[in-house]
Structure 1
Amino acid sequence: MGSKLRVAFFGLTVVLGTISFSHEIGNNPRNLTSARQAKVFSLFNVVSFNNGPCTSSSSVGSGTNGNRNGTCYTSDECTQRGGSPSGNCAAGFGVCCVFYLSSGGSTSQNCSYLRNDNFPSGLSGSSGQSYTINKCSCDVCYLRLDFLTFSILGMADNEEVMGGMCVDTLKITSSSNEPIPEICGQISGQHIYVDMDQGCSGNAKLDFSFTGTASTRIFEIKATQIKCGSRSTPPDGCLQYHTELDGRIQTFNYAPTDETHLPNQEYAICIRQELGYCCVEYTVCPDDVPLGFTLGVLEPEMAKHDSDCESVDFVGIEGSSSACRQSGTPAMLYSKYCGDKLNDFTEGKLHVPICDCTPPFLVRIYTNMFSDKSIAADPNTKPSRGVCLEYVQIPCN
């Protein structure tokens, strides 16, 4: 009699072929030969494995550590779905399939890389490009966009004389109608969360518009879909979400050149509070102190806060001060900071750490359409680069 044996190992399911045994061997050589042949398995008639995430052999490069992520498929499945095999997975029975979209298009793959045509070289033309990400399953609620490499033309004027306008633009929309500010310039290393709404038909769109010809345009954006209720899901209203004990926050187009911050920005950067931590401390990035905080500059070399920041660009940190007060009488608390020094002392001329002990922890970025220069009593003669802050969570007492 025959039977099939199903064996599971390394996440694989292998169905072995029919196994037959002879019980009447005796001394007949022919019977011995038949027995040996019967004991040979017809292995790997069927091999199945989960189409889960995998790490490819394709390096991200561009100063970013690590390799691109993919999905584990058979070689044929990868080709049929339009992916690119890059390394093995499932103990060698599958390939790590990486999905790229170049020059626009649409995809419903869980992890995809949106790139300009001619990547890793600069964009070859100046025509606009549009990308659509459809949900890979009904239980997806968010899309995370990681700007691995992103350089398109930025502001027309780096001193914000006329309030500034983007030469190129990236406009992101979704089926949830969540308001997302337009982006341009240098965004490498940043990320954005996009609400894809509930239901099965949700999607997100990225529309690029370019003005004139430039050889410096280049981008690669990793698009990862996130299930509803996942620990990685951001709170409502958070365009960016940081989940580490410490990290760095920057406004868009904050670059090592004389670029200026973007106009018409209004969004929240949220920090996930970890167990046993009660405060977050913010400091101006130490490697960029001269221009690390230049937002809504009313008077050069001076700090402003709260009512002074009502009609200008500002950073919002609700219920904060230069003192971490977790118990006892609270210090005077502030909610807005502007100028070119981060300080809760009016007209302070030095950067000081600002502490927030009133969760949820978030930083609001607000910029208007007007220039710092036009409203300054003493004209702002240096680029308003925006804000670079380092944060660290402080343990509870």
Structure 2
Amino acid sequence: MFLINKELVVLVLTFIIADGKRWYTASTKIYQKIQHKPNHTDNIGSIVPQMLLTSNQSDINFNENVFEFRKRSNSIGAIPGMDYLKYFNSTNDLKRTQSGKISRNQNKRFLGVFQIVKFMHAPCNSSNGLTGTCVPQHECQTIGGTALGTCADGYGICCVSQFLCDENSAAVTGWFINSEFPSPSYERLSCTFTLHKFSEDIKQIRLDFHSFELLPPSGGVCLEDQFVVSGQNANDFIPIICGINTGKHVYIEVGEVDGPIFLSMQTVSQERRLFSIKVTQLRAGDDLAAPTGCLQYFEEAEGSFESFNYQDKSDIAISTRPGYFNNLNYAICIKRAAKACGITYTNVGDMQIVNYDTDGLPVIPPYQAGVEIFDCPSDWLLIAATRLCGDRLNDGSVLQDFSLNAPVTDTNAGPIVIWFRTDAGYVGRGFSLQYKQKPCMIDA
């Protein structure tokens, strides 16, 4: 009897003599003291017994200490926390124990194998490119997941929760995908995935657009294809989204509603489309949780972000028309890094945030940067409390030549927030910016 990491394993070795041959059998009883909730699989162990119980005739004399417990500090399959208990797959594995000796016939072999493998429920990469969770196969079936590849050195399977149109779930993490994923689909869609809150304390839902290629907007309006979010907090604005948005993400505030939340996909023609949207339910204080009111949230000290439908290339959609949407009003938030007192933004792609007067003429000349309310009355990007627009990024603090791009630095204290606002009129391509936080400078 062994007490091993809160699992009680009782091994009963029975010797049966029949026709001059000796056979070995083993029975196990495992008491797991692990609280396991479906969908909450991070860092929870699983037990996978592996048995092969046959033997040739042998003169081996066993005692109670034949078995040995091994703990590997280095995880199998790059997953931490894996333990295993086994008895030996050949007599060459048998070792002398403290309480007795093992005698054996050198010409005979003992072929019995018994393993109990425990591995952590860690993220894994599935065969279709989506992130799943490494679990035993029976656990994947219990939570309604799909087995897509193996993990944990073959002891586990990569379990992915996939949801199609008109399905519903309360999964903490899963994927809303088109019916033919990872290939594009051609059918017309008018469908909704219904997401129920896993628990009352769920405050946000994060959507990661792993793949998002729909038909583009026309004049800033999604007329042909639409991705629509509904059911969130009354004051939480989620724009209707279309076009090319692979790699982007949005947060949905749901703390004031009981649910469900609806993710709807509407298309009007039979054209190629591809989408895989990771859905993650979040409590306040979770690692991925964003400050309230942020449509997008970036935790890295340096990185990049861009407006919706900024990309002009697609391998899936039959056409692309890069450009932001009408009537936007949202916040992009960045987590302030430790010991950072400033952040600098630079332009890495074409910038075009347009403004026109009542006569339909551009407020500022082409290929110029616009600054503040007279240049940017309707469409603008707000950085360091300054409105910016036009075809260049330049607030005039570094260069006075507004035909050139120039870095824009924000040294204000408090949260780092960039606002993007558009009206119902003309639209431009948008923006693509890099940012880098700067360490505090302490005078000697």
Cα deviation code 1:118-176 (max 9, x no counterpart):
122222211212112223344432221111111111122xxx4xx54542111112442
Unaligned runs of 5+ in 2: 15-58, 68-84, 87-112, 313-319, 356-361
Whole-angstrom distance in 1 between the partners of 2:373 and 2:60:
94
What pairs with 1:163-182 in structure 2 (closer than 5 Å)? Answer: 164-177=221-234, 178-182=236-240
* Matching of residue 16 in structure 1 with residue 5 in structure 2: no
- 164, 176, 181: which is aligned to 1:114? 176
SS at match of 1:36: coil
Q: Confirm or deny: 8 A CA contact 2:126 2:132 kept in the other structure.
A: no
* Matching of residue 317 in structure 1 with residue 383 in structure 2: yes
Where does residue 336 of structure 2 map in the other structure?
273
SS at match of 2:139: helix
* Matching of residue 52 in structure 1 with residue 83 in structure 2: no
Whole-angstrom distance in 1 between the partners of 2:120 and 2:230:
29
Give the fraction of aligned pairs with identical amino acids, expressed as a percent: 28
Higher mean C-alpha deviation, range 140-149 or range 301-310: 301-310
Whole-angstrom distance in 2 between the partners of 1:143 and 1:48:
34
Cα deviation code 1:273-329 (max 9, x no counterpart):
0011111111111xx3xx23444363312221212255321101134xxxxxxxxxx
Where does residue 6 of structure 1 map in the other structure?
3
Number of aligned residues = 336
SS at match of 1:307: helix
Cα deviation code 1:256-286 (max 9, x no counterpart):
254222111110000000011111111111x
For residue 86 of structure 1, report the CA deviation from its aligned partner.
3.0
What pairs with 1:78-157 in structure 2 (closer than 5 Å)? Answer: 78-89=140-151, 93-156=155-218
SS at match of 2:373: helix
TM-score by length of 2: 0.68
Whole-angstrom distance in 1 between the partners of 2:376 and 2:322:
24
* Matching of residue 292 in structure 1 with residue 360 in structure 2: no
- 54, 62, 65: which is aligned to 1:36? 62
Q: How large is the Cα RMSD of the aligned pairs?
A: 3.1
Provide closer, same or farther for how the CA distance between residues 362 and 318 of structure 1 changes in structure 2, counting only shifts above 3 A. same
TM-score by length of 1: 0.75
- 408, 425, 432: which is aligned to 1:388? 432
For residue 248 of structure 1, report the CA deviation from its aligned partner.
1.0
Unaligned runs of 5+ in 1: 22-32, 61-67, 320-334, 373-383
* Matching of residue 303 in structure 1 with residue 364 in structure 2: no
SS at match of 2:326: coil
- 379, 390, 397: which is aligned to 1:339? 390
Relative contact order: is structure 1 or structure 2 higher (C-alpha 8 Å, sep ≥ 6)? 1
Q: Confirm or deny: 8 A CA contact 1:283 1:353 kept in the other structure.
A: yes
Q: Confirm or deny: 8 A CA contact 1:194 1:204 kept in the other structure.
A: no
Whole-angstrom distance in 2 between the partners of 1:135 and 1:92:
33
Whole-angstrom distance in 2 between the partners of 1:187 and 1:59:
19
Amino acid at match of 1:98: V
Where does residue 241 of structure 2 map in the other structure?
183
SS at match of 1:344: coil
Provide closer, same or farther for how the CA distance between residues 395 and 348 of structure 1 changes in structure 2, counting only shifts above 3 A. same
Whole-angstrom distance in 2 between the partners of 1:228 and 1:343:
37
Provide closer, same or farther for how the CA distance between residues 100 and 164 of structure 1 changes in structure 2, counting only shifts above 3 A. closer
Q: Which has the larger radius of gyration?
A: 2
